[in-house]
Amino acid sequence: MDQQQTLAAPISFTGVGLHSGASVNLRVLPAPPGTGVVFERVDLDRFRIAATIKNVARVAYATTLMKQGVLISTVEHLLSSLYIFGIDNAIVELDNLEVPILDGSALEFVEAIQRVGLMSQQAPRTFLVIRKPLHVEERGKTISIYPAENLQICYSIDFSHPMIGKQTFEFEASAENFAREIAPARTFGFLHEVEELKKNGLVRGGSMENAIVLTRTGIMNDILRFKDEFVRHKILDSIGDLSLIGRPFIGRIAANKAGHALHTLLVSRVLSDNSNFELMPYGEWKSSEAVAAG
């Protein structure tokens, strides 16, 4: 798509925050070209926080944005959905500090976007095209990005749990693939960690209605949506975090046991040096790819 896009109509959601447990109403509204994705706290005089890497404040168990002390937490599932459907511009209104977790996946966001559709805007779309490899590693966890012809993600996880173990998934980015393969995958957590997390102010809104809950040997929920739902959910999270690069990007991601901290660190590393990437209008990028292929 060579033109910027926004939603054709507003979409609305009501739910609770996974970590805060607080009730929240959220609306995603169409926005003019060049706006980007901007969160607006309607309960705090419509205070605005742009969904960009410079506003990332915390990355423990969720991605939290902050500006002048005002927080917007657990933004990754919504941002992932907006990004993969090519929504460049949107105002996200909410009346509390955390995006609702809904059923723990991005399914409701995707269904709402598909229901109202998109609107093309009279402004060119610029892509960030990765030009050289970058690697980030911390305590045995790694994430890398390489030049590629489109957005691809290969993600691997390894948990010493009988329901998870080693899982790898390859995702070729498209709205259709995302809706089918990634959006339904729910967040997950371990029952034996719940009390400690609650003491630290986390997962107060968690339940079997909005997360896969694992015991030491199995799961408390009735059934998984995919046998490898866990790694698919990691891809869901990663797309939302990587979208904080601020524009559509072209590259191949390879992640192993990564998480919010490494996802966002990679974005910072990419943007730290202009030689890592090239900004190109859609038509120019497609032309260059056609020449390279020929």
The total of structural domains in the chain comes to: 2
Residues 6+ positions from 163 with CB-CB distance below 8 Å: 214, 218, 219, 224
Q: pLDDT value at position 61?
A: 85
Q: Do residue 111 and residue 156 come from a single domain?
A: no
Neighbours of 293 (CB within 10 A): 7
Residue 50 pLDDT more than 70? yes
Does residue 156 share a domain with residue 116? no
Q: Do 137 and 266 fall within a single domain?
A: yes
Residue 117 sits in the same domain as residue 220 = no
Residue 206 has pLDDT above 60, yes or no: yes
Residues 134 and 269 in one domain: yes
Rounded CA-CA distance 98/22 in Å is 8
Q: How many CB atoms lie within 10 A of CB 97?
A: 20
Statement: residue 160 has pLDDT above 90: yes
Give the contacts of 65 (CB within 8 A, at least 6 positions apart).
Answer: 39, 49, 51, 55, 56, 57, 71, 72, 73, 75
β-sheet bridge partners, residue 14: 25
Domain end among 80, 108, 124: 124
Query: What does each C-alpha distance from 87 to 30, 177, 200 come to in angstroms?
Result: 9, 16, 35
CATH of the domain at 205: 3.30.1700.10
Q: Give 181's DSSP letter.
A: I
Question: At residue 286, what are phi and psi to the nearest 5 degrees?
Answer: -65, -40
Is residue 112 located within the same domain as residue 247? Answer: no
Instruction: Look at residue 192 in the predicted model and tell me its pLDDT.
Output: 83
The per-residue pLDDT for 242 is: 98
Give yes or no: residues 239 and 264 share one domain.
yes
**Residue bearing the bigger pLDDT, 205 or 63:** 63
Do the Cβ atoms of 170 and 241 come closer than 8 Å? Answer: no
Cα angle 240, 246, 248 (rounded to 5 degrees) comes to 80
Examine the fold and report which residue of 90, 109, 124 is the final residue of a domain before the chain moves on.
124
Domain that holds residue 80: 3-124
Which of 94, 124, 154 is at the close of a domain? 124
pLDDT tier, 19 (very low <50, low <70, confident <90, very high otherwise): confident
Q: How far is CA 1 from CA 87, 201, 207, in A?
A: 11, 42, 39
| Residue 19 a catalytic site member | no
Mean pLDDT of 109-122: 98
CATH label of the domain that carries residue 103: 3.30.230.20
Same domain, 278 and 135: yes
Angle CA 109–111–33, to nearest 5: 60
Q: Give the integer Cα–Cα distance in Å for 212 and 215.
A: 10
Q: What is the DSSP letter of 178?
A: I
Same domain, 232 and 143: yes
Q: Does the pLDDT value for residue 217 go beyond 60?
A: yes
Residues 75 and 25 in one domain: yes
Structure tokens at 260: 């919010």
Find the catalytic residue in 19, 77, 260, 263. 260
Greater model confidence, 222 or 17: 17
Rounded-to-integer distance, Cα 115 and Cα 23, Å: 24
Distances (CA, A) of 175 to 148, 181, 279: 18, 10, 22
* Same domain flag for 34 and 170: no
Task: For residues 56 and 19, give the distance between their C-alpha atoms in angstroms, rounded to a whole number.
Answer: 17
DSSP state of 29: E
- In this structure, are 90 and 10 located in the same domain? yes
Whole-model pTM?
0.94
